[in-house]
């Protein structure tokens, strides 16, 4: 019999963070770096816990070079070849601690990922990314990869809150199907409001000494702050990093405006590019958009980090680590003044 969960679930747009007493004199005092020791691999990682999504338009080597300069992380998309990885590792060894190799869950995916990790042993992170992280096939695949690479940290997803908390025992990507170029909610009716997804996934994960990535749903630096406030250990961004020089693809000029292409990895564009088209048994669950060209990603990085520091000063958190403990969300009917929007 169908079941209705009547509990209210919230998205980033439904809340604001309440300002609180603060002893901080300047935004410059805020420490955004975190240090994590991961439960399964026993690895320790230090950096600013923002991840560029493993989409082939944004999760590029060029993006990783800039991100690593800020101690930020990039999940490299899975369509680079072994030779591409070797060249990147030779030219930018300083970046390798801040990147992950991405893979699907097929036999060929495993073979390719294994060859990359063998050729570039400095890379210690693996990103295993499928649409439904609860599928039995994927769970078995994760176990296989864990057995093969016991000293690597594995990010798995995508997952929403689960009744048994099983998925959150790993380093999991909490996801509500709300990405900027994701159409899963409208195509399938499946999803979960991102703020509630993060709060519930984090509650399960932290109780099991796991970690959570908030993936999707952020439209501005304030949303990134809300994700951290909700308990996310890392925040993964795709759309907010789209349209930059470091993104894949040429700059398009149309009617005097410069644009760059950005699309979901389940879009018709992505499936035509990498799989020869949309299989007859499935539907596209992503959109393709032309994003205004934004220039170098450096300015966007500084905007996000500056906003995050401001959030911490408003709520009295001297460190990003303290933000979730200092955060109180208030429900609102409007996010901002729209007179000049």
Q: Is the bond preceding residue 158 a cis peptide, omega within 30 degrees? A: yes
Give the relative orientation of helices 82-91 and 61-69 as an angle to the nearest 10 degrees: 30
Query: Which one is catalytic: 95, 127, 182, 218?
Result: 182
| 103 has binding-site annotation | no
Q: Report the run of H or E that residue 182 belongs to, with start and end.
A: none
307: left (phi over 0), alpha (psi -120 to 50) or beta: alpha
Residue 166 in marked binding region: no
126 and 101 Cβ atoms separated by less than 8 Å: yes
Residue 216 assigned as binding residue: yes
SS3 at position 269: helix
311 is in an annotated binding site: yes
Say if residue 176 carries a ligand binding annotation: yes
Question: Is 129 annotated for ligand binding?
Answer: yes
- Is 281 marked within a binding site? yes
Question: Which candidate, 214, 223, 220, places its Cα nearest to that of 160?
Answer: 214
277 is in an annotated binding site: no
Q: Is 331 annotated as a binding residue?
A: no
Q: Is 207 annotated as a binding-site member?
A: no
Query: Does 27 show up as a binding residue in the annotation?
Result: yes
Q: Is 249 exposed, middle or buried (0-12, 13-18, 19+ CB in 10 A)?
A: middle
Q: Which of 165, 90, 93, 177 is nearest to 132 (CA)?
A: 177
Query: Is 120 known to sit in a ligand binding site?
Result: no
Q: How far apart are CA 274 and CA 276, in angstroms?
A: 6
Choosing from 184, 218, 247, 300, the catalytic residue is 184
182 has catalytic annotation: yes
183 in catalytic set: no
Residue 36: phi and psi, rounded to 5, are -125, 145
286 is in an annotated binding site: yes
Q: Is 78 annotated as a binding residue?
A: yes
16 forms beta bridges with 330
Name beta bridge partners: 9.
Answer: none
Q: How many CB atoms lie within 10 A of CB 55?
A: 27
Residue ranges of the annotated binding site for GMP are: 215-217, 238-239, 264-266, 282-286
Residues designated as active site: 182, 184
Residue ranges of the annotated binding site for K(+) are: 176, 179, 182, 185
Residue ranges of the annotated binding site for NADP(+) are: 26-27, 78, 129-131, 265, 281-282, 310-313
Residue ranges of the annotated binding site are: 26-27, 78, 129-131, 176, 179, 182, 185, 215-217, 238-239, 264-266, 281-286, 310-313
């Amino acid at each position: 019999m169908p079941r209705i969960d009547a509990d209210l679930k919230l998205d980033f747009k439904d809340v604001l963070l309440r300002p609180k007493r603060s002893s901080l004199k300047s935004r410059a005092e805020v420490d955004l770096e975190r240090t994590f020791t991961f439960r399964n691999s026993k690895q320790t990682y230090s950096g600013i816990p923002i991840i560029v999504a493993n989409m082939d338009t944004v999760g590029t080597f060029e993006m990783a070079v800039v991100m690593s300069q800020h101690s930020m992380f990039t999940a490299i998309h899975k369509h680079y070849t072994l030779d591409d990885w070797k060249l990147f590792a030779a030219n930018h060894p300083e970046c390798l601690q801040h990147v992950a190799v991405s893979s699907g869950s097929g036999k060929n995916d495993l073979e390719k990922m294994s060859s990359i990790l063998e050729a570039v042993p400095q890379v210690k992170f693996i990103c295993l990314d499928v649409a439904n992280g609860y599928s039995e096939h994927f769970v078995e695949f994760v176990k296989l990869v864990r057995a093969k690479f016991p000293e690597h940290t594995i990010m798995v997803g995508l997952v929403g809150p689960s009744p048994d908390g099983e998925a959150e025992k790993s380093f999991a990507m909490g996801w509500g199907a709300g990405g900027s170029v994701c159409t899963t909610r409208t195509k399938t009716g499946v999803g979960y409001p991102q703020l509630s997804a993060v709060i519930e996934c984090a509650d399960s994960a932290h109780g099991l000494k796991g970690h959570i990535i908030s993936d999707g749903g952020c439209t501005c630096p304030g949303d990134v702050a809300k994700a951290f406030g909700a308990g996310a250990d890392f925040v993964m961004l795709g759309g907010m990093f789209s349209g930059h020089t470091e993104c894949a693809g040429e700059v398009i000029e149309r009617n005097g405006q410069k644009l760059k292409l950005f699309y979901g990895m389940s879009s018709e564009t992505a499936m035509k590019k990498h799989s020869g088209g949309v299989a007859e048994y499935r539907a596209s669950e992503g959109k393709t958009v032309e994003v205004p060209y934004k220039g170098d990603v450096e300015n966007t990085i500084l905007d996000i980090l500056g906003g995050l520091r401001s959030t911490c000063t408003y709520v009295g958190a001297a460190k990003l680590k303290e933000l979730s403990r200092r955060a109180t969300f208030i429900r609102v009917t409007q996010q901002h003044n729209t007179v000049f929007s």
